[in-house]
Amino acid sequence: MEISALTRSVVERNHAVIAPDGYINSKVPGWDNCTVNVIINEQMGANLCQTLITAGKDCEVTGKTNESQIFFYIIKGKVTAVISGETQLLSASHFVYVPVGKHYKFKKIKEGTQIITFHKRYEKLEGYEVPETLFGNAADVPGPEYLGDPALRLQVLLPDHLGFDMAVNIFTYDSGGHLPMVETHIMEHGLMYLQGQGVYMLDHKWYPIKKGDSIWMAPYCQQWFTAMGKEPAVYIYYKNVNRFPT
Ligand code: UGY
Ligand code: MN
C-alpha cells in the first residue's frame, strides 16, 4: 500500500523538485474548464512562472499578455490557437511564443490536452525590437549534439537574438548520458520532464526524477544530471538570457 505521507517533492531556498502527486489546482481567470497547476512562481522565490494546463470538456484558455511574455508548449492533445488574429492548429510538440501586449485564445481544445507554460516579465533592450509572435514545432527543430557528446542533444526553440530575454530548449539524454560538468551559473531554470528518468544533482543533493516531474533551479543552484532507464530522458526547460545584471 502506498503511504500518502511520502513524496519526492522538495522545496528548498534555491531549488525545488515538484512531482505531480502534490498538485493542488488553481483557478486562473479566463482559463476555463481545465485544471491549472502553478508549479513554479514568484511565491517560491523564482523570477519565472511555470504552469501545467490539463483540459477538461469545453476548455478555453483566453487572456492578454501584459508585462510578461508567455511560451505555450503542447505536451499532448490538440488545440486551435488564435494569437492577435492569427490562427493555427497545434498538437503535441507544437509551441507558440506570445510576446507582451497580445491577446491569446486557445479554443476547440481536445479533452485531456496538456499545455506547459513559461512566463517571464519582459525586459526590453534599447535598440532591439520586441519579438513577434512565433509558432513552431519542436519536431522540426534540429537537435545537434551538445558540447561534442553524441549522447546529448539540444534543441533551441526560440531564436538566438538579443530581442529575446528568455530561451526555451529541449534537452535529450540517451540512457547513461550526463551533463559534462556541474553547471554553476547566473541563469535560472524551470523545467519539466517529457520522457524518461534519471538522477539530478541540485546543490549537492541527489534526486531521482522521472517523466512529469518539474524542477526549479535558482541562479547559481549547482546542477548536474545523468539519464538512466530504457529510453532517453527528455526535458523542456526555460532559461533567462541576454540581459546583464544591473
Ligand atoms: O542551458 C543550460 O544551462 C543547461 N545545460 N542546464 C541544464 O540542463 N541544467
Ligand atoms: Mn543550466
Determine the distance separating the centroid of ligand 1 and the alpha carbon of 223, expressed in angstroms. Answer: 8
pLDDT band at 207 (very low <50, low <70, confident <90, very high): very high
pLDDT digits (tens, 9 = 90+) for 174-185: 999 999 999 999
Contact (Cβ atoms closer than 8 angstroms) between residue 238 and residue 198: no
Separation CA 147–CA 154 (nearest Å): 10
How far, in Å, is the centroid of ligand 2 from the Cα of 23?
Answer: 25
| Stretch 130-140: mean pLDDT | 98
Q: Is the pTM of this model over 0.90?
A: yes
- Nearest alpha carbon, ligand 1 atom 8: 171
What's the CA-to-centroid distance between 231 and ligand 2, angstroms?
A: 22
Check: complex ipTM more than 0.90: yes
Pick from 155, 181, 183 the residue to mutate for probing ligand 1's pocket: most ligand atoms within 8 Å of its CB: 183
Cα dihedral 80, 23, 158, 209 in deg (nearest 10): -130
Instruction: Tell me which residue of 222, 219, 230, 189 sits closest to 206, measured CA to CA.
Output: 222
7-54: pLDDT as tens digits? 999 999 999 999 999 999 999 999 999 999 999 999 999 999 999 999
Closest CA to 202 of 221, 183, 215, 189: 221
Q: Which cell numbers hold the place of 59? A: 476548455
Ligand 1 atom with the shortest distance to the CA of 224: 9
Pocket of ligand 1 (CB under 6 A): 171, 183, 189, 223, 237, 239
Q: What is the pLDDT of residue 15?
A: 98
